[in-house]
Amino acid sequence: MKLSNQTSVFEFILIGFADLHNLQTFIFIVFLSIYLLTLLGNISIITIIKISPQLHTPMYFFISNLSFLDVCYSSTITPKTLINLVLDIKGISVLGCAAQMYCFATLAIAECFLLAVMAYDRYVAICNPLLYLVVMNRKICILLVTSLYTVSMIISAIQTGNACSVSFCGPNEINNFYCDPVAVLKLSCSDTFLKELLLASISMVGLSSSIIAVLLSYIYIISTILRIRSSEGRRKAFSTCASHFITVTLLFGTLVFMYVFPSSHYSLNKNRTVSVVYTMIIPMVNPMIYSLRNNDVKQAVKKVMKKKISS
């Protein structure tokens, strides 16, 4: 990626939580706890799925990929934020900012696409259960995951190049705790209308395509479930989708609010709060959602614990 030749700024300052100076220690402890829980929860999910043969199914293959994304997703932002809080080192080079922006965008876009793929997986499992293992075979699952990673990297490269190809010759303070492309564009001394429009358009296309895929899958899922005569059968079918639906609502809701809705009045507190939700809170709660609401995972955990105790 080639940065603008007119750029005279070589470092950005991540303001982060500078306005909450008296709460820096408290915020550090909270964020560190969240990050450790994120790592523990998601790595545990990946490990449980890996060592439990009964969880070697397409659904859990996608869940393990979701946990992998959440670990990387959180690790792209949180460590730098913790360093800024404890050491008060708020500077980040322009290239470092671009790298963080690219990695984070790739992971965020990949997670959106993965949730869409997981919705399709649930559609096949509920609407065509007899063909489930045929349609969602291992080769197809790997192809879907590989494709979404590839597309995510391409879209992220376009977004990052778009945000970093403007001139930076004035203020260099980013009104956030990470290199958010919206905040970075606000610092440009050139006209950014088309850049902001492109950013919003790409975000809209990526999110809307994922949301449409999820909605279509759930329309068919719900219509199929409602035709099930047994109330117990309907309950079990709904329970297989509940965790995914909660995750979709949390992530898509915050991303739409942050990047798609027009932001004529940029609010530090508003965007910072929403950023904390989708960069730290969601990666932490995802493994809780999938483990606490999933009997298969609970049973796998119990088996592992029994083996540990007996050994």
CATH code where residue 55 lies? 1.20.1070.10
What pLDDT was estimated at residue 264? Answer: 46
With respect to residue 80, please indicate whether it lies within any of the assigned structural domains: yes
Q: What's the rounded Cα separation, in Å, for the pair 15 and 17?
A: 6
Is 136 exposed, middle or buried, given 0-12, 13-18 or 19+ CB atoms closer than 10 A? Answer: buried
Q: What's the rounded Cα separation, in Å, for the pair 137 and 305?
A: 30
With respect to residue 40, please indicate whether it lies within any of the assigned structural domains: yes
With respect to residue 248, please indicate whether it lies within any of the assigned structural domains: yes
pLDDT of residue 2 exceeding 70, the answer is no
3-state secondary structure at position 186? coil
Band (229; pLDDT cuts 50, 70, 90) = confident
With respect to residue 264, please indicate whether it lies within any of the assigned structural domains: yes
For the chain, the average pLDDT equals 85
pLDDT of residue 199 exceeding 90, the answer is no
With respect to residue 6, please indicate whether it lies within any of the assigned structural domains: no
Is 114:73 a contact under the CB 8 Å cutoff? no
How much is the average pLDDT of 144-168?
91
Residue type, 95: L
pLDDT of residue 304 exceeding 80, the answer is no
Tens of pLDDT, residue by residue over 13-71, are 988 887 777 888 999 999 999 999 999 999 999 999 999 888 899 999 999 999 999 99
Q: What's the rounded Cα separation, in Å, for the pair 260 and 202?
A: 9
What pLDDT was estimated at residue 4? Answer: 46
Tens of pLDDT, residue by residue over 287-303, are 888 876 677 777 777 77
- Number of domains into which the chain is organized: 1
* pTM, to two decimals: 0.89
What pLDDT was estimated at residue 265? Answer: 47
With respect to residue 2, please indicate whether it lies within any of the assigned structural domains: no
Q: What's the rounded Cα separation, in Å, for the pair 221 and 208?
A: 19
Distance in angstroms between the alpha carbons of the first and the last residue of the chain:
53
With respect to residue 3, please indicate whether it lies within any of the assigned structural domains: no
Band (203; pLDDT cuts 50, 70, 90) = confident
Is 18 exposed, middle or buried, given 0-12, 13-18 or 19+ CB atoms closer than 10 A? Answer: middle
Is 279:73 a contact under the CB 8 Å cutoff? yes
With respect to residue 123, please indicate whether it lies within any of the assigned structural domains: yes
Band (268; pLDDT cuts 50, 70, 90) = low
Beta carbons within 8 Å of 202's beta carbon, 6+ residues apart = 155, 158, 159, 162
What pLDDT was estimated at residue 308? Answer: 67
Q: Could you list the residue range(s) of the whole structural domain that residue 219 is in?
A: 11-310
Structure tokens at 82: 């913790």
CA angle 91, 94, 100 (to 5 degrees): 85
Neighbours of 73 (CB within 10 A): 26
